[in-house]
Amino acid sequence: MKKRVLLSASIIIVVLAVDQLAKILVKTRMHLYEHIDIASWFQIFFTENHGMAFGMDFVGTLFLTLFRLLAVGLFVWILFAQIKRCAPLGLIACLALIIAGALGNIVDNTLYGLIFTASSPMSEPAQLVAFGQGYGSLFEGRVVDMLYFPLFEWPTWMPLVGGSTFFGAVFNVADSAISVGAVALAVFYHRHFFSRQ
C-alpha cells in the first residue's frame, strides 16, 4: 500500500512541478503568440485559453474550475479506493496522471489572474506581481498552452480537412497528463472497474 501511495504522490508532484515550471517560463519570457521552432513538426507556441483542454473554450471559467474541482475530488476518492484494493501500479499511475493534470490547469484558472500581468503580443512578457494585482480575479486566470505539433497539412483536395494542419491543437503538460492517463486507463484497465472482485 505504501508503494502505491508513494507512486501516486510522486507522479502528482512531478507532473505539477514540470507543468507549472513550463507555464511560468513561457508566460514570463515570451510574448503571446510568439513561437520557437524546435523542429519542423514541433514548436513552443505561447497561447492562452480560459481552461478547456487543447484550447477549446465554450463554457465559463468559474463553471469549468468548479467542475474540475469536483472531478479531482471524485478521482482522488477513486484513487484511494484503488490503493486500498491494492490495484495494479499502472492503474494507480493513470489515476495520478489525471489528477495531476486537472490540478495543473486549476492552478492557472484559479491563481494566474491574481499573480500575473496580462500577456500580450505587443508588450513585454507578463510579470509576476503581488497577490491580487494581476490581470483578473479569482477563477479568471487563463491557462497557458505551449506545445504544438504541426505534423503535416492535409492535402487541399481532401473534403472538410483539406489544407488544415493535422492535430492543430496547442496544449500543455497538464493536458498531456490527463490524456495519457485517460487513454491508458481506458485501454489497459477498463475491465478492472467492472470486475466483481
Question: Which positions are annotated as active-site residues?
Answer: 145, 175
Contact 148, 170 (CB under 8 A): yes
Which three cell numbers, joined as nine digits, stand for 105?
Answer: 490547469
Contact 145, 168 (CB under 8 A): no
Which three cell numbers, joined as nine digits, stand for 176?
Answer: 498531456
Who contacts 142 (Cβ-Cβ below 8 Å, separation ≥6)?
Answer: 48, 49, 50, 51, 108, 109, 112, 113, 119, 136
